[in-house]
Amino acid sequence: MNAPANPPVDARERRAGLYAGLGAYALWGLMPVYIKLAEGVPAAAVLAHRILWSAVIMILVVTALRRWPPVLAALRTPSLVLWLSFSAAMIGANWFLYTWAVLDGRVLDTSLGYFMQPLFNTALGVIVLRERLNGWQWLAIGLALCGIAVMTVLRGGLPFTSIGIATAFALYSLARNRAAVDAVTGLIVETVILTPIALFWLLQTPEGVFGHPLSLMLVLIGSGIVTSLPLGLFGHAARRLNLSALGFLQYIAPSIVFLLGVFAYGEPMDEARLAAFALIWAGLAAFSIGGFRGRKRRGTEAAEGA
């Protein structure tokens, strides 16, 4: 019996990209489990350790891959430094809100924020980039706003944590879109920008950088790995998968976080949260339909024009 032929290279690449994407979003989804290991450490200190050790890991990776020339070129380009400084501030804000919310027992709020994020990206595209939406996409944004409004009325206040997480990441995505650099270069420049602030913060705390017990210190150092690894896997996936595949995969992480919040950490699913999640999920369904119809229409137009 003949051995089966090897699959085409492009098929193997897509499969590798799919596995990398699944790994990235699964790790992001399980991030609360790791952050909970640092309970007792202030969120700002956990964030500072994430930044510091991510920078150490990225420096080692860039050195191993001999990628310093594009990094140094980016640091010598004022417009890139400006955009990457803004993106660094936004990803820092996103990481802080996420870390604080998990340590404060608000895991479901982080899940809601990341479910909102694609819709916030779309709204930002309309406001800043003057992008045009179809009816389904407008419906998606309307449903998301209704979800926020219902939660505000039923809880007597805006869901600031969820909105902050979604807004910070949407602004981060916009800045990275404007900064014409690859994922590795962008990430190391961002961590280099944030590291002095993180190091200064840690040196002001009673524990300093290395003052925690060994077991906790290993958790904090490991936070650099769990921060950098999914970003590396995502970069690998983004180069091998189309946007529709990535768009589908992005719902894995908040879904895992949602399940953790409800079943592992026992956070209450009250009527305000239930209504907000239901409306956001309906908005995401409308958003997906709109995106699918838009791609199908563009494909038909391209075929007719050929």
Q: What is the pLDDT of residues 107-162, one digit of tens each?
A: 999 999 998 888 888 888 888 877 787 888 889 888 888 988 988 888 878 889 99
Number of domains in the chain: 1
Distances (CA, A) of 85 to 188, 198, 296: 12, 14, 37
Angle formed at CA 141 by CA 272 and CA 245, multiple of 5 degrees: 105
Looking at the domain assignment, is residue 244 inside a domain?
yes
- Residues 196-202 have a mean pLDDT of 94
> Quick check: 290 pLDDT over 60?
yes
Alpha-carbon torsion 256, 143, 173, 152, what sign? negative
Residues 6+ apart with CB under 8 A from 185: 67, 70, 71, 74
> pLDDT category, 4, cuts 50, 70, 90?
very low
**Structural tokens at position 249:** 């995969």
Looking at the domain assignment, is residue 7 inside a domain?
no
Measured distance CA(264)–CA(11) in Å, rounded = 37
Looking at the domain assignment, is residue 306 inside a domain?
no
Looking at the domain assignment, is residue 4 inside a domain?
no
Measured distance CA(277)–CA(292) in Å, rounded = 22
Lowest mean pLDDT among 177-191, 207-221, 229-243: 229-243
> Quick check: 292 pLDDT over 90?
no
8 by Cβ neighbours in 10 Å (0-12 / 13-18 / 19+) ranks as: exposed
Looking at the domain assignment, is residue 275 inside a domain?
yes
Measured distance CA(83)–CA(87) in Å, rounded = 6
205 by Cβ neighbours in 10 Å (0-12 / 13-18 / 19+) ranks as: middle
Looking at the domain assignment, is residue 78 inside a domain?
yes
* Helix H or strand E encompassing 51: helix 43-65
Looking at the domain assignment, is residue 165 inside a domain?
yes
pLDDT in tens, 71-99: 999 999 999 999 999 999 999 999 999 99
pTM: 0.85
3-state secondary structure of 46: helix
CB neighbours of residue 5 within 10 Å: 6
Of 117, 127, 119, 124, whose CA–CA distance to 94 is shortest? Answer: 117
Let me know: does 46 contact 189? Beta carbons within 8 Å: no
pLDDT in tens, 113-122: 998 888 888 8
- Residues 46-56 have a mean pLDDT of 95
Q: Which residue has the tokens 């450490």?
A: 41
Domain that holds residue 47: 16-301
Task: Report the mean per-residue pLDDT for the chain.
Answer: 86
Looking at the domain assignment, is residue 256 inside a domain?
yes
pLDDT at residue number 9: 47
